[in-house]
A and B are shown apart, each in its own frame.
Chain A
Amino acid sequence: MIDWLKEILASQFGLSMLVMLLAVGGVMGAAAWLILFERKVAAWTQDRYGPNRVGPRGLFQPIADGLKLFLKEDIIPGKVDRALFIFAPCIALIIGMLGVAIVPFGGVMRWSDGGPLLKVQVASIDIGLLYVVAVGSLGVYSVVLGGWASNNKYATYGGMRAAAQMLSYEVPLGLCLLVCILSTGQLRLEGMVERQIQSCWLGILQPLVFVLFFTTALAEANRAPFDLAECEQELVGGFHTEYSAMKWALFFFGEYAHMVSTSAVMVALFLGGWEPIPFSLKIGGWLESVSPLAWLGAMLKWITLDPSPWAALVRGGVYVGKVGCLIFCYMWVRWTLPRFRFDQLMRLAWKAMVPTGMALAVWAGFLVYWGRPMSAWALAGNGILLLLCGMISVASGRPTTGRQDSLPKVEGVS
């Protein structure tokens, strides 16, 4: 029995299965506790306690919530399209989880010296990032189908808005990915991480691309300030107005799973994946020459490169830690920024982010042409572009739209 298990685990497929079980279980469990974490972050932002009744410091709140959602009556209103109404939350859950499949959690490892090198990730496919884009854009179906199947005006409009929003932000997202591919010349995520370990994190070289990508990731996940699809003041619950009990909860599982998987991709693209700190090889080499800190340098190198299972485990821990930090940023943004109006949202995507993303991609293309895609020139280009964007936005003033156009002009007020 033990031998048989060992044999399976020694193959790439076996390790993939192990990583998959850990990832799926981890994300499913994390989604429940992330909701508690989100409420705690909200409480922290608004200077109050947050949930603190169920268990120590409210730690068992997700269990109580889950039990309630499980037992609640599941209402399916009379006028809905039943098949699609039931199907939509399932898509949300499935699509949200598919993104973790190509995340390189821990680089390469081998069980014993001389054994084959195995990749600590579910699947290492040659189209890598293309898979991320393909799976990510399927997410829009759950919201649109849910909204449309509800046969409720709020839900329908929420679904339409979500479709327009997610489609619009897909374009700058794609442009950011193009910059990453041009910089590293790779489609595989683990290849990108290795390039970043050799030279520098892309988040440092291309900070503007990182910010753009983070913003589009917020919009793709339908998170505030881009949560117009479920804008309470205008649309009650938006696309999930008619949903209740576990079907409603599946939408939220999907949202949090989506958050986790996009954060994981972001870590691989911009934050050097499993590398504990930027330039850890150089810093490690330098520290090794400083006698009292030699152990620290050796440890940095060990974590980044060593193929032993323990190092891979530490790398996985580093990776998950970075993902956690990004998720905290998601929540921080949500409780800090007010929501956009819908026309502002569309303008931001098409008139600001698409041109910026294109300029960045063109710059990255020229850098490749000159043979230095991951040099300080990338950073310089980012800085100049940021300056230009600022100047243009100051010069163009505030746009007036819709009803504002037909308002009477008032003296002295621009």
Chain B
Amino acid sequence: MPTTEVDSLHAYAPIIVLVVLMVVSAGAILLLTHFPMKWKRHGPVKDSTYESGMETIGDARRRFNIRFYLVAMLFLLFDVELIFMYPWAVVFHRSVTGSDEVAAAAVSMSDYSPTFFLGEMAVFLGILLIGYAYAWRKKIFMG
């Protein structure tokens, strides 16, 4: 199906409307249930933290296992690389199939051969895999 229109920001207008609609409705639900028609009683026991009826010891903002942090770092490594791969995938596909309806956008890419694209991504993935193997050896993946 031809998608001839050059995508402008107009295409995003409905999304902005959707965001506004959802923010307003979430706010409305909270306001409706938060303030009116309720009396509230407070007390030292009622307002205390629920930890299965035990008396709370200290704060909940404590140190946590370093692995959570490492997982987050690994995620950054992988996910940023993945985001790079999506545009690559589209351009690579076009460089092979060529006569696409949006080939005009890929004209400047036609100087490069599909082999170049594949090799480029192989190098990129190779570097990623080294980091992955290192993390595996360091037992970050919980055993």
Name A residues whose Cβ lies closer than 8 Å to a Cβ of B. Answer: 13, 16-17, 20, 24, 69-71, 73-75, 77-79, 86, 89-90, 93-94, 97-98, 101, 108, 122-126, 129-130, 133, 137, 148, 150-157, 160, 163-164, 167-168, 170-171, 174-175, 177-178, 181-182, 184-188, 190-191, 194, 236, 241-242, 245-247, 250, 342-343, 346-347, 349-351, 354, 358, 361-362, 365-366, 368-369, 371, 373, 399-402
Contact = CB atoms under 8 A, between A and B. Distances in A.
Nearest to B129: A358
A371 to B, nearest CB: 6
B60 A152 contact: yes
Given A168-B71, A181-B89, 16 more contacts: A16-B13, A17-B17, A20-B17, A77-B49, A90-B26, A97-B18, A125-B11, A129-B86, A152-B49, A155-B60, A191-B3, A194-B1, A241-B50, A247-B33, A346-B142, A369-B114
A122 B61 contact: no
A170 B79 contact: yes
Nearest to A193: B1
Contacts of B83: 130, 133, 174
B19 A94 contact: yes
A129 B61 CA distance: 36
Contact of A247 (B30, B38, B94, B143): B30
B55 to A, nearest CB: 12
17 contacts: A71-B37, A74-B33, A79-B48, A124-B11, A153-B51, A153-B62, A156-B60, A156-B62, A167-B71, A170-B75, A171-B79, A247-B33, A250-B30, A350-B141, A354-B132, A368-B114, A401-B142
B68 A77 contact: no
B22 A94 contact: yes
B15 A101 contact: yes
A401 B30 CA distance: 45
B62 to A, nearest CB: 8
A163 B64 CA distance: 13
Contacts of B72: 163-164, 167
B133 to A, nearest CB: 11
A101 B114 contact: no
Interface in B49-94: 49-52, 59-62, 64, 67-68, 71-72, 74-75, 78-79, 82-83, 85-86, 89-90, 92-94
B142 A185 contact: no
A343 B82 CA distance: 24
B68 A74 contact: no
B137 interface: no
A365 B78 CA distance: 18
B46 to A, nearest CB: 7
Contact of A190 (B1, B18, B25): B1
Nearest to B135: A350
Contacts of B64: 156-157, 160
Interface string B23-44: 1011101101110011010100
A351 B1 contact: no
Contact of B51 (A152, A175, A190): A152
Please give me the 6 A-B residue pairs with the lowest Cβ-Cβ distance, nearest first.
A185-B93, A78-B47, A401-B143, A246-B33, A343-B142, A167-B75
Nearest to B16: A123
Given A20-B14, A168-B75, A351-B136, A246 B142 contact: no
Nearest to B128: A358
Contacts of A194: 1
A136 to B, nearest CB: 12
Contact of A123 (B12, B30, B32, B115): B12
B125 A362 contact: yes
B90 A242 contact: no
B22 to A, nearest CB: 4
B121 interface: yes
